[in-house]
Amino acid sequence: MKVLQMLPSLEVGGVERGVVDLVRGMKRRGEETIVVSSGGELVKELQKAGVTHYTLPVHQKSLASLRLISKLVQIIQQEGVDIVHARSRVPAWLGYFAAKQAGVPFMTTCHGYYSTHFLSRVMGWGRRVIVISRVIGRHMIEDFGVLPDKIRLIHRGVDLSQFSGLSSPPDRQTGPKYDSVEKKPFRILNVGRLSPIKGQVEFLKAIHQLRCRCPNIEVLVVGSEGKGKIKYTSLIQKTITQLGLESCVKLLGTRRDIPELMQQSNLLVLNTLVPEAFGRVIVEAGAMGVPVIATRLGGVLDIIDHEENGLLVTPGDTEELAAAMARFYEHRDLAGEFGAKLSTKVRAHFSMEGMLDETLAIYQELRQEKKILIIKLGAMGDLILATPSFRMIRERFPSASISLLVDKRHTSVVEACPYLDEIVPVDRYKLSHPDYFLKTAKKLRQEAYDISVDIQNSKWTHALAFFGGVVKRYGFFRGSFGFLLNAPDRSHEIPDAPVKQQFKLLAKLGVRDFSEHLELWPDQAVEKRVAGWVEAVQLKSGVKKIGLFVGSSPAWPTKRWPLESFKMLAQKLTQSLNAQVFLFGSTEEKPLVDSFFSEHNPGVINWVGKTSLQDLISGVKQMDVLVTGDTAPLHIASAMKVKIVALFGPTDSRRHMPPGAGSMVLQKALPCQPCYSGSCKNPEELACLRKISVSEVFEAVKRQLHTAEGQVSSTFVSGHRTVSAKNTDGFVLPSGEENPQ
């Protein structure tokens, strides 16, 4: 496993030292790391440990930094990086896009509080988001909307070996640090960047109050403002002079010998006025058994238990801070006891080895687990045609988390699908609205999918996968938005049966076993209710149930066989075959059907506009034969293993006929067919369907009813000539035509 660590620089600092310790630990365990930063003093330590470092200006907050993305992609590919791990906002933006282009997982560690500005949000876009304290975890959930199941709490750890030779035994409560007041001065240490939010001025005011009560003290202030900054440092120096603290307070600036300074100190004070993300210096003090007083804020609360292993004070309250310091000054045994307890907690919960174990576990998690998004936003029939793909993907990735992005109108079709872990409903008709599109993309980005399988293949679905931050994006390269895929297939224009067409895409994911039978999972309560409706008809024994789906999609009226033909067929079926006919259709067709079937006919049951989607599925399942056009019930019948007579007009049955035995296709080979148009341009309107006669359909139904159990019967009607043969694709071609497959 090889991980790319990205951070702004490698100057001396808590985050930087933590990363160096981490990568050295990974090196010891045989894991490889690449580090990218703008450089700094700690680069030498990486090189000494044999860790590769790339110096790039990933710290610059400028649009010009985007040019580094291609360089990072090159590094990822050349080095064989498995995971990109960013630890600050600018590196995170660059790493996010580079990881997406290279097709590797991206993750972040949040080392501090971030403003809720949009540019900070990238810190929550990782496949995993490590937080270094509980308060940072709440911050990312509440202020950035990061999903809780993406967050992992890993406290920063310290390399205990750096302190093992310096610290006193954990149970030791007396000794050099805790001798009586008359001997060495009571040394108080304050470590941190010099900044108003760190509260050094307030700390000095508390020291002034303490000295009046406890004169034998010495104070060491460690830290600096940063390059070129002196304003706050000048204020600190002025405060020391005004309070007359020159004899007991020393400003040491930036130091590398923190362990040695702690060994010589009796107390560490962290007086920050704003929440600390964590408080590494407290852990370092605890590793050596040094007692700690800190303000009651932020990540400090994960380390210090008030009155158990340290003292917590109110931020900005100098009197309370002075009193707490005096308490440890006067009660050295209590200070020793608290220091020993803090040492025990640090060694149990804040070691570098523990942090390394937890971090490596997340890396392994990312490598082994897959989070897959299947995208299918089309009509219900197309969704049913995708069910074999759901099954094949699950068989290929049995332990993956698989989600389906689907039109909210069709969620009930797949909500019981055993191959999916989650349904993500969207309104596909709103995707052209920028606000809705961006909200949907944000939702996908929060889920941090590893793979998307775009079975829909529209410009909107390609864009959703890209802006949703999916790492590896599979789909057919179609139109001007195909470039947004990074695992495209360019064979879409080669005609093929629908499930076989999808399989071309699945093969790129490593799916090898082809399985094309459709599935649906009807609601048992609905099935029972619909069965009751059929029983209420009181059918005589042996009476066959013929379903006629008289409707079509509102956008495809050209797919509807004429209603007068359906009426004549219903009469012929009831009179000649003594069959029971059930009419299915949508609410839109109800007025039309009512006018055609207004007369009382006990042989025809009119369910048009009276069934829900689940009712329709269960109703079709009850039929012996279904007569339908190229619309959703055609696919429902195939999934329910009901015999079909399919009537095709403007579309090509070779590309849209669902798989399965027991299907008969009737289609006229006219010069204008297939036209794939919702409006007919032929002078003889709907000639492709009108030329399919009632007698032809009747004979097809009759044949289906008499087909022996298990025999496959497939028919393609061309002109006035019928050709039939056994065929596992559900149809045969008219004589003289070549199979486009």
Query: Whole-angstrom Cα distance, residue 530 to residue 153?
Result: 51
Residue 329: pLDDT band with limits 50, 70, 90:
very high
In this predicted structure, what is the pLDDT of residue 726?
31
3-state secondary structure of 626: strand
pLDDT tens-digit series, residues 335-356: 999 999 999 999 999 998 999 9
Query: Whole-angstrom Cα distance, residue 332 to residue 168?
Result: 14
In this predicted structure, what is the pLDDT of residue 419?
97
Which DSSP state fits 701? Answer: H
Residue 710: pLDDT band with limits 50, 70, 90:
very low
Query: Whole-angstrom Cα distance, residue 554 to residue 347?
Result: 69
Query: Whole-angstrom Cα distance, residue 27 to residue 76?
Result: 18
Pair 476, 508: CB distance under 8 Å: no
Percent of the chain with pLDDT over 70: 91
Mean confidence (pLDDT) of the chain: 88
In this predicted structure, what is the pLDDT of residue 101?
86
- What number is the average pLDDT over the span 273-292? 92
Pair 285, 168: CB distance under 8 Å: no
Which DSSP state fits 243? Answer: T
Rg (CA), the chain: 36
Q: What is the pTM of this model?
A: 0.66
Residue 515 has pLDDT above 70, yes or no: yes
Residues in contact with 123: Cβ distance below 8 Å, sequence separation at least 6, in sequence order: 86, 89, 92, 108, 110, 114, 129, 140, 144
Q: What is the dihedral of CA 97, 102, 107, 108, to 10 degrees?
A: -40
Let me know the angle formed at the C-alpha of 236 by 233 and 242, rounded to the nearest 5 degrees: 145
Q: Worst-scoring range by mean pLDDT, 384-388, 427-431, 506-510, 669-673?
A: 669-673
Neighbouring CB atoms inside 10 A of 27's CB total 15
Residue 378 has pLDDT above 90, yes or no: no
In this predicted structure, what is the pLDDT of residue 659?
83
Sign of the Cα torsion 569, 575, 579, 585 reads positive
Structural domains for the chain? 2-157 (3.40.50.2000), 165-348 (3.40.50.2000), 369-507 (3.40.50.2000), 536-725 (3.40.50.2000)
From the list 125, 137, 78, 118, the residue with the least C-alpha distance to 97 is 125
Residues in contact with 544: Cβ distance below 8 Å, sequence separation at least 6, in sequence order: 577, 579, 580, 624, 625, 705
In which element (H, E) is residue 721 found?
Answer: strand 721-725
Residue 122 has pLDDT above 50, yes or no: yes
Please state the length of the chain: 741
Residue 512 has pLDDT above 70, yes or no: yes
pLDDT tens-digit series, residues 152-182: 999 988 888 777 655 443 433 444 444 444 5
Within 13 Å of residue 268, how many CA atoms lie on the same side as its CB? 32
Would you state the structure tokens that stand for residue 569, as one six-digit string?
A: 């067929």
Sort 717 into a burial class: Cβ within 10 Å, 0-12 / 13-18 / 19+: buried
Please state the separation of Cα 614 from the chain's center in Å: 30
In this predicted structure, what is the pLDDT of residue 190?
97
Residue 56 has pLDDT above 90, yes or no: yes
pLDDT tens-digit series, residues 456-477: 989 999 999 999 988 889 999 8
- What number is the average pLDDT over the span 131-137? 95
In this predicted structure, what is the pLDDT of residue 160?
81
In which element (H, E) is residue 329 found?
Answer: helix 318-330
Omega prior to 185 cis, within 30 of 0: no
Query: Whole-angstrom Cα distance, residue 363 to residue 355?
Result: 12
In this predicted structure, what is the pLDDT of residue 730?
33
pLDDT tens-digit series, residues 252-280: 998 888 889 999 999 999 999 999 888 88
From the list 324, 313, 329, 335, the residue with the least C-alpha distance to 199 is 313
Residue 89: pLDDT band with limits 50, 70, 90:
very high
Amino acid identity, residue 627?
A: V
Neighbouring CB atoms inside 10 A of 251's CB total 16
Residue 2 has pLDDT above 80, yes or no: yes
Query: Whole-angstrom Cα distance, residue 543 to residue 597?
Result: 21
pLDDT tens-digit series, residues 102-111: 888 899 999 9
In this predicted structure, what is the pLDDT of residue 20?
92
pLDDT tens-digit series, residues 183-231: 689 999 999 999 999 999 999 999 999 998 999 999 999 999 977 789 9
Let me know the angle formed at the C-alpha of 131 by 270 and 135, rounded to the nearest 5 degrees: 55
From the list 257, 242, 240, the residue with the least C-alpha distance to 203 is 240
Residue 661: pLDDT band with limits 50, 70, 90:
low
Amino acid identity, residue 730?
A: G
In this predicted structure, what is the pLDDT of residue 599?
62
Angstrom CA distances, 606 to 610, 611, 698, 729, stand at 8, 10, 19, 32
Sort 180 into a burial class: Cβ within 10 Å, 0-12 / 13-18 / 19+: exposed
Residue 542: pLDDT band with limits 50, 70, 90:
confident
Neighbouring CB atoms inside 10 A of 720's CB total 9
